[in-house]
Structure 1
Amino acid sequence: MPQTLRARALLLDMDGTLVDSTAVVEKLWLRWAEPHALEPQRVLDVVHGRQGHQSMAILLPARDHEINLRENREMLAAESADVDGVVEIPGADRFLAALQNAPHAVVTSADIALMTARMGAAGLRVPDLAITAESVSASKPDPEGFLLAAERLGVAPADCIVFEDSAAGIAAARAAGMRVIGVGAAAAAHSPDATVPDLTAVQVTVDADTGTVTLALN
């Protein structure tokens, strides 16, 4: 049975929510992990949704964080240069088009260059407001990025709905006091308020007078 939710603003993760970049993310991170003899599944469990330097700090807790920051810059550059296989999550283009007249933002752990590269590879419009790695001092699961987006949109956190796929992202949205719609089969394990298999399952209506967004989830 369809579920209906209403909000004054939508905040959208990028990787796994708007674009499918799984193949390149996992390829580059497993390549990074190999010389450290890290267990591959452990790496994949950690890296999704977080900024790279935080993932490195979790995986190599004894290492000097300056090394993590340097290698994170190298990883971001490599990811920006490799968009082979990056495509839109089904329904993302239509979904973003429906939000043209509604308050919304992308909130991503990517930096500006990587966000631009992946959204471009997927053929997607970048929202006017983009909260990227450069915008914040703390990575998801810290709520800073979502709270900053709500502040810039002039909308209370409780009036925002977040679309996310990862454990770190869903935790960040919850910590911000926002409702969360999980995108993709794996998101359900992290207890979002609702789940959809992809964005084709979301119908968007925007009230022209108030800007209120009504979401019908199929």
Structure 2
Amino acid sequence: MVKFTDIKGFVFDLDGVITDTSRYHAQAWGQLADKLGVEYPGLGDAVKGISRMDALEMILKKGGLAGNYSAAEKEALAAEKNANYVQLIQNMSAKDILPGMADFLADLKAKGYGISLASASKNAPTILAKIGLSDYFTKAVDPATLQYGKPDPEIFVKAAQLLDLMPAQCIGLEDAAAGIAGINAAGETSVGIGDAELLHDAAINFTETSQVTLANIEKAMND
């Protein structure tokens, strides 16, 4: 059993942990769906946590358009959605940092813990710059180097390597079940943020980001 005193580093997912970009994703997909003439109520929840191409296929299927586009045309549609998204996130700022996370990062840095980013988002550097947290994440896994997506542990193993730490010396923070599975498979201690039932495999669970503090993590590990 890993002790709190063994922990030397923290590995962060981005969306749903540090900031919430899901509404921007939903809005960008909504713009594309409107262009394609597809009515899709509840689009935000439907596309959350799935890949860009899977989300596109879902929208096309919903509109009865699944067989209407070539692979190249689908790539172009996905690129258009991303361009919409990139435009939307230009308006992000420090107000988009989730409650408590700025203080938590400052505390980690002050106490000498390693910090790295394990996000599959290619837009992560832009988002971190917009919300003013880039200085905390000088160590970040490059999504272009990944062979596998979550729940595969690859991204979390690489995030630990960037800190020159063993996975057992790291805590990983996630808001999705696939991410928790990846953290666990990597051999790191998992902290789930959100619905405890959905994140039942997490070693530690917090309902809200505001509950994520070193003191609360230490207490949970010692209980």
Tell me if both proteins adopt one fold, taking TM over 0.5 as the criterion. yes
The correspondence for 1:128, drawn from 120, 138, 152, is 138
Structure-2 separation of matches of 1:172 and 1:58: 24
Aligned residue in 2 for 1:52: 52
In the alignment, is residue 76 of structure 1 matched against residue 82 of structure 2? Answer: yes
Uncovered stretches (5+) of structure 2, i.e. residues with no partner: none
Superposed, 1:1-218 pairs within 5 Å as: 5-6=4-5, 7-33=7-33, 35=36, 37=38, 40-41=41-42, 44-45=45-46, 47-56=47-56, 69-83=75-89, 84=91, 87-100=96-109, 101-111=112-122, 114-125=123-134, 126-184=136-194, 186=195, 188-191=197-200, 192-204=202-214, 215-216=218-219
Percent identity for Structure 1 against Structure 2: 23
Structure with greater proportional strand content = 1
Structure-2 separation of matches of 1:138 and 1:72: 20
Structure with greater proportional helix content = 2
Aligned length: 202
Q: What code does the residue aligned with 1:82 have? A: L
Structure-2 separation of matches of 1:178 and 1:43: 30
Once the 2 structures are TM-superposed, how far is the Cα of residue 5 of structure 1 from its aligned partner?
4.2
Pair 1:105–1:188, CA change in 2 (3 A): farther
* TM-score normalized with structure 2 length: 0.73
* TM-score normalized with structure 1 length: 0.74
Name the SS of the counterpart of 1:170 in structure 2.
helix
Structure-2 separation of matches of 1:68 and 1:168: 25
Structure-2 separation of matches of 1:20 and 1:163: 14
1:13-54: CA deviation from partner (whole Å, max 9, x where unpaired): 001100022321222234445648586557734x33344235
CA contact (8 A) 1:181 1:196 kept: yes
Pair 1:158–1:42, CA change in 2 (3 A): farther
Structure-1 separation of matches of 2:70 and 2:143: 20
